[in-house]
Amino acid sequence: MSDVPAAPSGFARIFGSLGVPHFASLYASGWVFNMSRWGLAFLGAFVINQETGSPRLVQLTGTVMWGPLLFAGLAGGALSDRFDRRNLVLGLFLTMAPLAALIGALELAGELRAWMIFAAMLLVGFGWVVDMTARRALIFDVVGPERINNAMALETVSVASGLALGSLLAGSVVDVLGVGAAYLAISALVLVAAGLMATVPRRPPAHRGEAEPFLQSVAAGFRSLPGNPTLVSILGVTVTVNLFHFPFFPIVQVIGEGLGASPSQIGALSAATGVGMMLSGMWVATADPHRGRVYVYGPATAMVVMLGFALFQHYVLVLLSLLVAAVGLGFFGSTQGALIMTSVPDTMRGRALGLLSTAIGSLPVGMYALGELAEAIGAHAAVIVFNATGLAVLLLWTWRHPEARRLR
């Protein structure tokens, strides 16, 4: 008999998984960390844009930050399948807090240099691998298969609201107190996340895989793909969306500055993505829709709407375009993790999330390419080219590999 409480009815279904013991603390910890990491992403792009004014270098902050997902995702997944996931996440938090404090102290002392920002973003990226593999697998450990759909939809709400609040917080603190104080505020937030995570009981994974050497364990993730066309279909959608659509996030700094926006207004532009994703994530948690269709058609809609983001020259219209596009992106994000974790056996869950991390690792490639294209033809035109191409590739992929779209 499962010890997971029965799901509530009506609107309360949106928060159903929070009734599972210890999930509220785990969720709150992840939410605070999501706010922190998106704040760091905003600050890195903001500082480089202020220092250089180069779309290429602004996009490079995202490339560096997301790059480890491409190269270290499966290694992180294998670690998640072997070691205590809660302790892995705690170690991440207790590393990130002093890193953010150090960057803040260097800025206040007038010693911060651009290369230091890029080095810090790289370390944040490695932390993102741990979060993507260990903390998300820990969510499944805590809530079980009965609640994983709701829990992962709420996770999207956490990521989205963290993006919105982290960007707003960072931009507002920069406006009032400066960049150094903003980094110190992020450091304090990460310590709060660590304190919340410390209240979650240890939960070593049920299948440690000690008998399998580490490198073989990593390779097993790749070997699983040919026999799982559903997983291939899901990951192909992820690669397409992250390669062609989501690379726009750093370049919001360039477009916002071109509109004459203040740091807090640019923060609001970045936050609009989080607000839109949060709205659709809450709807998915409540409505339990056809997951496959939502997963595919959500980002397709977002790519269409992003054409308006690139074409409009008025701040309010750009803000609204980002908001609407983010609703579509939220449909994609709120179903992605659950689809991945329910498409593989228990013993492969961490490595499946590692494969997802690797697929998301196409994002830094897209960020770099978008930066180069923006340097050559301008930020607005580059966003149009990327999203139009991405829409064509997404439709072609799901026509040839329809398994993800058919999942219920």
Residue 74, SS3 per DSSP: helix
pTM for the model: 0.68
At which residue do the structure tokens 């002093």 appear? Answer: 98
Residue 215 CB partners (closer than 8 Å, separation 6+): none
At which residue do the structure tokens 């991405």 appear? Answer: 390
In a domain? residue 26? yes
Q: Could you tell me how far CA 257 lies from the centroid of its own chain?
A: 24
In a domain? residue 209? no
pLDDT score for 7: 45
Q: Where is average pLDDT lowest: 13-22, 172-181, 258-267?
A: 13-22
In a domain? residue 359? yes
Structure tokens at 270: 């970045």
CB 287 within 8 A of CB 340: no
Question: Quick count: other Cβ atoms within 10 Å of Cβ 385?
Answer: 16
In a domain? residue 112? yes
- Give the separation between CA 362 and CA 387, rounded to whole angstroms: 15
CATH code, 324? 1.20.1250.20
Q: Where is average pLDDT lowest: 33-47, 65-79, 304-318?
A: 65-79
CB 343 within 8 A of CB 234: yes
Number of domains in the chain: 1
In a domain? residue 71? yes
pLDDT score for 4: 47
In a domain? residue 216? no
In a domain? residue 169? yes
In a domain? residue 212? no
Q: What tens digit of pLDDT does each residue of 231-276 get? A: 788 888 888 998 898 888 777 878 887 788 787 787 788 778 778 8
CB 390 within 8 A of CB 303: yes
Closest CA to 298 of 388, 237, 366: 237
The answer to whether residue 94 scores a pLDDT higher than 80 is: yes
Name the band, by pLDDT with cuts 50, 70 and 90, for residue 204: low
- Candidate ranges 62-76, 222-236, 381-395; pick with highest mean pLDDT: 381-395
pLDDT score for 72: 63
- Give the separation between CA 119 and CA 27, rounded to whole angstroms: 29
Host domain of residue 40: 21-200+221-406
Structure tokens at 218: 């990593």
- Count, residues in the chain: 408
Alpha helices in 23-84 (DSSP H): 23-52, 55-82
Residue 203 CB partners (closer than 8 Å, separation 6+): 84, 85, 86, 138, 141, 142
Alpha helices in 144-198 (DSSP H): 148-176, 179-197
Closest CA to 302 of 248, 233, 355: 248
